[in-house]
Amino acid sequence: MVAVRRWLDPWMRNRLFRKYVVPFVAVVSWALLTNGLLEIYFTYKESREQLAQIQREKANAAALRIEHFVREIERQMGWTTQPQVVPVPAALEQRQIDYVRLQRQVPAITEVAFLDGRGREQLRVSRLAMDEVAGGADVSSEPRFRETRGGRVWYGPVYFRKDSEPYMTLAVPHGSSATSPVTAAEINLKFIWDVVSQIRVGRLGQAYVVDRQGHLIAHP
């Protein structure tokens, strides 16, 4: 520092040096500093935009996998809605066999019910409880029956069973008339946890799934 000061002292006593060189150096230094700050800002902005694009791509990919998961269950349920060719007394027994077969094909279905054209629950096959045949409970006012009138497939909101695992109801009508029966299934959405756990965004980024009301469904 002493040597540098000795070297600068003669220059600093020089009026021309102080008048022209010092301001020039200050202007150049300010320009370099400003340029460096601008470069850092635009690099940061570009990095954020790239990260946002990666997040959108991963979110869209996850959404497509979840949609495919639900659509595939709907497709599998489709064959249970075909007209039966067995006599009426044996219809419920045959349908019970079909529902057991459906649960074997689709492990995510924990419970499936048959609602007749009046909205009466005539059959329920469950992994979590005893099967119920010809119970006759009136569910005509429930969305799983009411919302399927006209041949519409109904996707219920996500709910949590015993405050632990996410579920949703999927109801598929057997026709388009106002008196068409319905097959309604309760679907375990643990699959979504597997999808979310595989998403990686950078080193510390995490993904989570919410429903349309903003309620948390799945997170790592």
Determine how many CB atoms are found less than 10 A away from the CB of residue 121: 22
Question: What's the whole-number average pLDDT of the chain?
Answer: 78
SS3 content of the chain, % helix, strand, coil (to 5): 50, 20, 30
Q: What is the pLDDT of residues 142-163, one digit of tens each?
A: 999 999 988 899 999 888 877 6
Q: What is the pLDDT of residues 107-142, one digit of tens each?
A: 999 999 999 989 999 999 998 888 888 888 999 999
Number of domains in the chain: 1
Q: What is the pLDDT of residues 44-67, one digit of tens each?
A: 677 777 767 777 777 777 778 778
Query: Domain span at residue 53?
Result: 1-220
* Of the candidate ranges 19-23, 26-30, 74-78, the one whose mean pLDDT is the lowest: 19-23
Q: CATH no. for residue 120?
A: 3.30.450.20
Please report the pLDDT score of residue 91 as a whole number: 79
Q: Report, as an integer, the average pLDDT of 20-31.
A: 61
Nearest to 169 by CA among 193, 145, 205: 145
Q: List phi, psi (to 5°) of 151.
A: 90, 15
Give residue 187's region: left, alpha or beta (phi > 0; psi -120 to 50): beta
Q: Kindly report the CA angle at 63 between 155 and 150, in degrees rounded to 5?
A: 25
